[in-house]
């Protein structure tokens, strides 16, 4: 089945959106590297790699569907933040935006009756649910910790022990 042109365009845009995400998380990792929070830096670095895998998963899908890959420039990410809480608030908004993008993609796949694409996008919708949940949970605990250095360091240590999410490492399509 030939890939619908509108769907193909949106899938190409999503390669860029995921790479932008990866870049945003890398900038967050770099910001944390300048603070005592090495655990949060590690978390953001891991997240950056996962977003890169997402981009490659979309890339591979476009290739597998025999459609043309068209890469675009990746925007410069925000580089300065006020606090760990501020970073995670940006992260949650970022994930919510990606969830919105994937929902749009799913709706278009549905309109053009591309069930194979819907299958890929369902995997991503699931992944988004997980990512939003993980970020939201950390955000809530950061709010509880407030400005207490001891509590923040406990959360930092926990963030540093985070492994890559199961969904992203076992999701197939070369991921
Ligand atoms: Fe992603
Ligand atoms: Fe994400």
Q: Which ligand is nearest to the CA of 129?
A: 2
Distances from the Cα of 117 to the Cα of 10, 111, 132, angstroms: 12, 11, 22
Predicted confidence at residue 108, as pLDDT, reads 98
| Residue 26 located in a structural domain | yes
List, for residues 58-93, the tens digit of each pLDDT value.
999 999 999 999 999 999 999 999 999 999 999 999
Q: How many domains does the chain have?
A: 1
Number of helices and strands (H, E) in the chain?
6, 0
Distance 170 CA to ligand 2 centre (A): 16
| Residue 79 located in a structural domain | no
Burial zone of 138 (CB within 10 Å; 0-12 exposed, 13-18 middle, 19+ buried): buried
Please choose, from the candidates 96, 20, 110, 113, the residue with its C-alpha nearest in 3D space to the C-alpha of residue 58.
20
Q: Which ligand is nearest to the CA of 19?
A: 1
| Residue 83 located in a structural domain | no
At 157, which CATH number? 1.20.1260.10
Low pLDDT (below 50) residues in the chain: 166-175
Distance 25 CA to ligand 2 centre (A): 9
Q: Are 31 and 82 in contact (CB under 8 A)?
A: no
Q: pTM value? A: 0.91
Distance 66 CA to ligand 1 centre (A): 23
Q: Which ligand is nearest to the CA of 51?
A: 1
Q: Containing domain of residue 48, as a range?
A: 5-71+103-161
| Residue 109 located in a structural domain | yes
């Amino acid at each position: 089945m030939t890939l619908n042109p509108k769907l193909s365009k949106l899938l190409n845009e999503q390669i860029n959106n995921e790479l932008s995400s990866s870049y945003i998380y890398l900038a967050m990792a770099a910001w944390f590297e300048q603070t005592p929070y090495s655990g949060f830096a590690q978390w953001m670095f891991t997240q950056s790699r996962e977003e890169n895998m997402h981009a490659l998963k979309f890339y591979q899908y476009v290739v597998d569907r025999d459609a043309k890959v068209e890469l675009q420039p990746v925007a410069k990410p925000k580089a300065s933040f006020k606090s760990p809480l501020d970073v995670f608030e940006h992260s949650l908004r970022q994930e919510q935006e990606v969830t919105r993008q994937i929902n749009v993609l799913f709706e278009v796949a549905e309109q053009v009756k591309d069930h194979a694409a819907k299958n890929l996008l369902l995997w991503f919708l699931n992944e988004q649910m997980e990512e939003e949940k993980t970020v939201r949970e950390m955000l809530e605990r950061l709010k509880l910790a407030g400005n207490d250095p001891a509590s923040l360091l406990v959360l930092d240590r926990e963030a540093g022990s985070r492994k890559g999410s199961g969904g992203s490492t076992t999701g197939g399509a070369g991921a």
